[in-house]
Amino acid sequence: MSAALFIDVQVKESVARDPEIAAKLAEVCPVDIFRAGPGGVEIVQDNLDECVLCQLCLRVAPAGSVKVIKLYDDGAVLGA
């Protein structure tokens, strides 16, 4: 599988380890970019390019802890 071309998602480490937030992120994302693993939230690389820019992940995590980056737009950060 090749790397994502259009979207990157970064989760602050402290937040990434929170199982509750991990579960919420996995639940709200319509294209399954987040997976709740044993060590907290995991990013499903294969699904990154499916991101529909809905911002639901930004709403369920503490402000600034999840970043959705548009690689095609000079690294613009969604919702910023």
Q: How wide is the angle at C-alpha 13 spanned by C-alphas 48 and 38, nearest 5°?
A: 75
List the one residue from 5, 10, 14, 59 that touches other proteins (CB under 8 A).
5
Shortest CA distance to 17 belongs to which of 39, 45, 33, 42?
39
Q: Does 63 bind other proteins (CB under 8 A)?
A: no
Q: Does 62 bind other proteins (CB under 8 A)?
A: no
Judge contact between 11 and 26, C-beta under 8 A. Answer: no
Question: Among residues 15 and 44, whose Cβ is nearest to other proteins?
Answer: 44
Q: Which residues bind other proteins (CB under 8 A)?
A: 2, 5-6, 31, 49-50, 52-53, 70, 72-73
